[in-house]
Structure 1
Amino acid sequence: MLDSRHLATFDQVVRTGSYSAAARALGYTQPAVTQQMKALEREIGIPLFARAGRGLKLTEAGEALARHAEVILGDLTAAQQQLDALAKLRSGRVRVCAFPSANATVVPEAVSLLLAENPGVRLELLEDEPPASVQRVVSGECDIALAFSYPGLHAEIPAQVVEVPLMEDLLTVVLPVGHPLARRRAVRLADLSGERWIAGCPRCRANFLHVCAEQGFTPDVVFTTDDNLAVQSLVAVGAGVALMPALVLSFLCHDKVTGRVVVPHTRRKVSAYVLRDHLRIPAVKVVLDALGKAAAARTSGC
């Protein structure tokens, strides 16, 4: 069985090119590094280094181990991060990473419930868009991720992660006040085929292009930004129109834009993502329950 400490030292020797440089990087003495490398060679039963002048050269066995060392050490680091996360969760601290409009709506309402019913649970709030937010769960950077997905656009979920559906968020077309179609209660997407468009984040933009293609047209996208206020401001000055989740319009609505239901209805699914093993942790279950109640109580509009 390989000693992980010896493997980490070996990786540093390979990266720096010498025992002395590795010793400086790790804060060890050079004899200590030398002893660890000799111990590692004894464990393996074959030399890992050969002298090349004043430097070191990896043997064939050393090259083979070097290829695997980074992966092994990365897996050990990820495992340690997840174990650390479990230990911290027992004290009631839960790290939640959500996309911006969820952090402005669902999360604060869940916090209100927690303060009333479970004040011992403390939340640490982070912000990121999917799929990066879900990857933060895998790496141990957060305990729960709130992310969204669109029907028809496959988003692969890591095997160790569980999806907990929270709500469906209707997409709305945002028009300048005074736009001819603003007089309608609902607007057909195909009727907007000749408009200029402002598109959002990469995942939203991909869905937007997908639904437009289903309606038989390619939109003229003149601006792209993941800043919801910037999108509405551009719409307000007549730079274009946009599709925007109703969740955003429930807390942010420029006074010179109006939202209308778009036909056919398009929704995004908002879910919580958590490591399967974390579902057994009481603090996580309490937070998931609060998020579920907050999402179910959402109302939206512009």
Structure 2
Amino acid sequence: MFDTRHLRTFHEVVATGSYSAAARALGYTQPAITQQMKALERSVGVPLFTRAGRGLRLTEAGETLARHAGTILDGMHTAQQQLGALARLRAGRVRVCAFPSANATLIPAAMARLQAEHPGIRVELLEAEPPESVQRLVRGECDIALAFGYPGADPEVPPEVQVTPLMEDQLTVLLPLGHPLARRQAVRIADLAEERWIAGCPRCRANLLQVCADQGFAPDVVFTTDDNLAVQSLVAAGVGIALMPALVLSFMCHAKVTGRLAEPHVRRRVSAYVLRDHLRVPATGLVLDELTRAAAARVGC
């Protein structure tokens, strides 16, 4: 393994043609240059120079090293510049995996601020429902995972993952316009025992079943889809009603449906999941901070 200091000195000796000229260029003494070149020759195991009168001549090994030294030093300089840019948050890539309604609400707000203040940071968006998003984080397929969990059903988290709570997302009852209960500001789940229901993703469907069971009935689920727009269209068509997070309704609401707060209140927790080692990466920490800020602003709306 080469000492990079020795390699830079060797490159200067070759460029200037002598130890004394290299010493003047680098600000060293000539004996210091001589010692560095002897150390380099010991590390490669063969002589690099021979004397030719008062000058130096490269050996075959010296010529081989000279052909590569510039490229090696240029590559190291480029690497140092890029690492410095990452440390100063002038560059970096962060992969974020989130569920659809987070990608449509929290992500845009966070990315707009990030782009304005740190244009060199690039964010790659992936989409997955929990627990798949957290599993992708553990597999190294993303740097930050956004996931939601219902009371008693949060995603399982290994010890190497840090969980940062972002917000609590109130669930609402989605009703077609003209429904008798649509005139109320809040709707009791117990009053919906005779309704037909549209269920969402597996985790949301499980929560719906539990919420209704707590109120003493099993919902009549007539349709299941994880497409939020399809849920709203089905409700608008009178196929059934649904339990939908307020985060979804904040960016997409069918003209023929209305949302009413569910009683008792039902909330899902939205959190960010990051491998603890990744928190030391400046760009990852920055994106996490912006996501936290975007969630806090939405809670205050």
Q: TM-score, normalising length from structure 2?
A: 0.69
CA distance, structure 1, for counterparts of residue 122 and residue 101 of structure 2: 21
- The question of whether the paired residues in 1 share the 8 Å contact of 2:148 and 2:154 is answered with no
CA distance, structure 1, for counterparts of residue 188 and residue 160 of structure 2: 40
- The alignment status of 1:127 with 2:127, answered yes or no, reads yes
CA distance, structure 2, for counterparts of residue 240 and residue 300 of structure 1: 31
Corresponding residue of 2:167: 167
Corresponding residue of 1:117: 117
CA distance, structure 2, for counterparts of residue 224 and residue 298 of structure 1: 28
- The alignment status of 1:187 with 2:192, answered yes or no, reads no
Structure 1 residue runs without a partner (length 5+): 1-85
CA distance, structure 2, for counterparts of residue 164 and residue 174 of structure 1: 29
Corresponding residue of 2:280: 280
- What amino acid sits opposite 1:163 in the alignment? V
Corresponding residue of 2:156: 156
Percentage of matched positions with identical amino acids: 73
CA distance, structure 2, for counterparts of residue 153 and residue 212 of structure 1: 16
Deviation (angstroms), 1:281: 1.3
- Superposed CA RMSD: 1.8
CA distance, structure 1, for counterparts of residue 171 and residue 98 of structure 2: 19
- The alignment status of 1:293 with 2:293, answered yes or no, reads yes
Deviation (angstroms), 1:192: 0.5
Deviation (angstroms), 1:152: 2.2
Counterparts of 1:74-93 in structure 2, within 5 Å, are 91-93=91-93
Greater C-alpha radius of gyration: 2
- The question of whether the paired residues in 2 share the 8 Å contact of 1:110 and 1:291 is answered with yes
Deviation (angstroms), 1:131: 0.5
Corresponding residue of 1:244: 244
Distance 1:92 1:194, change over 3 A: same
Deviation (angstroms), 1:300: 9.7
Distance 1:256 1:148, change over 3 A: same
Deviation (angstroms), 1:159: 1.9
- What amino acid sits opposite 1:231 in the alignment? V
Q: How many residues align?
A: 215
Runs of 4+ with deviation above 6 angstroms = none
Counterparts of 1:1-302 in structure 2, within 5 Å, are 91-298=91-298
Q: Deviations over 1:127-152 (max 9, x none)?
A: 11110110111111100001000012
Corresponding residue of 2:9: none
Deviation (angstroms), 1:156: 1.4
- The question of whether the paired residues in 1 share the 8 Å contact of 2:95 and 2:125 is answered with yes
Higher deviation after alignment, 291-300 or 274-283? 291-300
Query: SS of the residue aligned with 2:271?
Result: strand
Distance 1:89 1:133, change over 3 A: farther
- What amino acid sits opposite 1:250 in the alignment? S
- The question of whether the paired residues in 2 share the 8 Å contact of 1:148 and 1:271 is answered with yes
- The question of whether the paired residues in 1 share the 8 Å contact of 2:182 and 2:260 is answered with yes
CA distance, structure 2, for counterparts of residue 139 and residue 258 of structure 1: 40
- The question of whether the paired residues in 1 share the 8 Å contact of 2:167 and 2:299 is answered with no
CA distance, structure 2, for counterparts of residue 207 and residue 139 of structure 1: 27
- What amino acid sits opposite 2:291 in the alignment? L
Deviation (angstroms), 1:265: 0.4
Structure 2 residue runs without a partner (length 5+): 1-82
Deviation (angstroms), 1:119: 1.6
Q: TM-score, normalising length from structure 1?
A: 0.69
Deviation (angstroms), 1:219: 0.3
Query: SS of the residue aligned with 2:243?
Result: strand
CA distance, structure 2, for counterparts of residue 207 and residue 190 of structure 1: 15
Q: Deviations over 1:252-292 (max 9, x none)?
A: 00000000001000000001101011111111110000000
CA distance, structure 2, for counterparts of residue 299 and residue 172 of structure 1: 15
